[in-house]
C-alpha cells in the first residue's frame, strides 16, 4: 500500500476534532546520545495514551457501508482495542466482540 502526502492530509481532516493535537518536543537526552536532533511527539496525551487513536479512527471512519454493517472485531493486549471501542462511529457494529478493559469509558 502506497500512502501519499494527500492521503495524510485527508486522514488528518477525517479525524479532526476527534483526537487532540499532541506536542512535539526536543529530547535533550536522546539528542546528546545519538548526536542528532531528536524530536518526540507525545501521543501519550491521547485519551488511550497511544498513537493508535489516529490510525484506528481513520480506519473505522473509512469503512464502506457493507463493512460497517458487518462490524468489527478488535483484539489487542494493548491499547488498540480501547480506541476501536471508544470512538467507533455509531453505524459500525461491534456486537459482543469489542472488548475494552474496565478502565476505559466510551466517549460521547
**Does 55 map to a domain?**
yes
Q: How far apart are CA 102 and CA 3, in angstroms?
A: 35
Can you give the residue range of the structural domain that contains 67? 5-19+51-86
Q: Is 77 within the bounds of a domain? A: yes
Q: What is the largest CA-CA distance in the chain?
A: 51
pLDDT value for 40: 94
- Domain total in the chain: 1
Per-residue pLDDT tens listing for the chain (108 residues): 899 999 999 999 988 888 888 899 999 999 999 999 999 988 888 777 777 778 888 888 888 888 877 877 776 666 666 666 665 555 555 554 455 555 545 544
- Residue 98 maps to a domain: no
15 within domain boundaries:
yes
Task: Let me know: does 89 contact 61? Beta carbons within 8 Å.
Answer: yes
pLDDT in tens, 20-50: 888 999 999 999 999 999 999 888 887 777 7
Amino acid at each position: 500500500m502506497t500512502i501519499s502526502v494527500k492521503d495524510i492530509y485527508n486522514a488528518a481532516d477525517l479525524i479532526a476534532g476527534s483526537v487532540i493535537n499532541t506536542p512535539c518536543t526536543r529530547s535533550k537526552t536522546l539528542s546528546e546520545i545519538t548526536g542528532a536532533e531528536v524530536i518526540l511527539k507525545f501521543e501519550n496525551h491521547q485519551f488511550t495514551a497511544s498513537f493508535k487513536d489516529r490510525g484506528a479512527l481513520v480506519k473505522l471512519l473509512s469503512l464502506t457501508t457493507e463493512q460497517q454493517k458487518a462490524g468489527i472485531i478488535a483484539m489487542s493486549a494493548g491499547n488498540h482495542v480501547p480506541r476501536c471501542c471508544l470512538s467507533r462511529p455509531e453505524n459500525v457494529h461491534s456486537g459482543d466482540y469489542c472488548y475494552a478493559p474496565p478502565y476505559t469509558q466510551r466517549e460521547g
